Amino acid sequence: MPKKESFLVNRLKSVGYALKGAILLITKESSIKIQLGVAVLVTIAGFYFEISKTEWLIQILTIALIIGLEGVNTAIEEVANFVHPEYHKKIGYIKDVAAGAVFIAAICAAIMGCIIYIPKF
C-alpha cells in the first residue's frame, strides 16, 4: 500500500491544480480575457476616483464573482461538450442556464459600478 501523503502536501497539490486551472482559464477563454480587461479598467478607476474601502470591497467581491462564475460556466460547457459533443436540446438548456447566471451577475455588477462611479462625475 502506497504511503499516504500529508495534509500539507495535499493542500499544496490542490493549490497547484487550482493555479493551473486559473492559468488555463485566463489563457484559453476569450470571455475571461474580456472580464479581466474590465476588471483592470475599474481597478484603475478605483484608484483614480479614490473610492472608499467599502466601495473597494464591493468592487473586488464583484470582480471575483464574475470571474468565478465565468470559470464555472466554462467548466459546465466543457463537461457538457465532452458528455454530448453533438447538439442536444437538454445540453443546450444546461449551457444557456449557466451562461444566464453569468449574465445576471454581470448586469448586477454593472449596476453596482454605476452606483459607485456615477456620483464621482
Residues with active-site annotation: 70
- For the record, the C-alpha cell of 15 comes out as 493549490
How far does the chain reach from its first CA to its final CA, in angstroms?
Answer: 66
The answer to whether 116 and 58 have CB atoms below 8 angstroms apart is yes
Instruction: Specify binding-site residues for substrate.
Output: 70
Q: Which residues are annotated as a binding site?
A: 17, 29, 70, 77, 86-88, 95-96
Give the cell for residue 56.
Answer: 473597494
